Amino acid sequence: MTALTRDDLYSLEDYARMRPDFRRRVLEHKRDRKLSLSPNATLYFEDRMTMHYQVQEMLRAERIFESDGIEEELAAYNPLIPDGDNWKATFMLEYPEVEERRVALSRLIGVEDRIWVRVAGHEPVFAIADEDLERETEEKTSSVHFLRFQLTPEIIASLREGTPLSAGIAHENLDVTVDPVPDNVRRALITDLA
């Protein structure tokens, strides 16, 4: 997928006018890109449309209209657009209660490196996590991680042939598998591959 440029973005005024419709379309689009791994762990697979929305929302929220600020937002979010041979995802650990979240995040150190996808007949592909900066400490992991699943040409070919896809987490304190990944998510993810 191609990176976003300033030419792809709407002015703050134009975005304010079109935002309700754009937001509705993006939320509908995201339904096929969300994969719950457990009640508290979710993968949100990103693409050009989800990042376009994120950039527009950041520009709107921060009232950014100068070139340097726009370029900073593009530089921050373009790396989350798949490159044609990978999937990129935001991984979220969501716990409603503060104390429950504190305990869970302390027990899940390293979880971001134990998230995997697997196409039947191939070895699991473990996520490459947080390439931009470290998001965990010795005491806890972060509740948000940015992941890349780098796929081989053979895996991509198998996916296109209809081979089932599964995903999960192989962490000592969170061992879950989704098998198979729902077909609507699988279909959406195949569109990210060149």
How confident is the model over 36-78, as pLDDT tens digits?
Answer: 999 999 999 999 999 999 999 999 999 988 999 999 999 999 9
**Bridge partners (DSSP) listed for residue 34:** 44
Q: Mark whether 166 and 98 lie in a shared domain.
A: yes
Both structure tokens of 68: 């340097």
Indicate whether 194 pLDDT > 90: no
Same domain? For 87 and 139 the reply is yes
Q: Are 123 and 146 part of one and the same domain?
A: yes
Q: Is the pLDDT of residue 130 over 90?
A: no
**Does 9 share its domain with 39?**
no
- Could you list the beta-strand ranges (E) of 10-164: 34-38, 41-46, 86-93, 115-119, 125-126, 128-129, 144-150
Which of left, alpha, beta for 27 (phi over 0: left; psi -120 to 50: alpha)? alpha
Question: Same structural domain for residues 52 and 128?
Answer: no
Per-residue pLDDT of 3-16, as tens digits, reads 999 999 999 999 99
**Which are the contacts of 129, defined by CB distance < 8 A and separation ≥ 6?**
91, 112, 113, 115, 135, 145, 146, 147
Residues 72 and 93 in one domain: no
CATH of the domain at 161: 2.60.40
Residues 105 and 192 in one domain: yes
Edge to edge, what strands does the sheet with 174-178 contain?
A: 125-126, 115-119, 165-171, 174-178
> 180 and 121: one domain?
yes
Residues 163-177: what's their mean pLDDT?
98
Same domain, 53 and 120: no
Q: Do 112 and 188 fall within a single domain?
A: yes
- One domain for residues 41 and 123: yes
How much is the pTM?
Answer: 0.92
Mention every residue, 6+ apart, whose C-beta is less than 8 A from residue 66.
none
Domain check: are 25 and 42 in the same one? no
The domain of 148 spans 32-46+82-194
What's the domain count of the chain? Answer: 2
Phi, psi of 77 (to 5 degrees): -100, -25
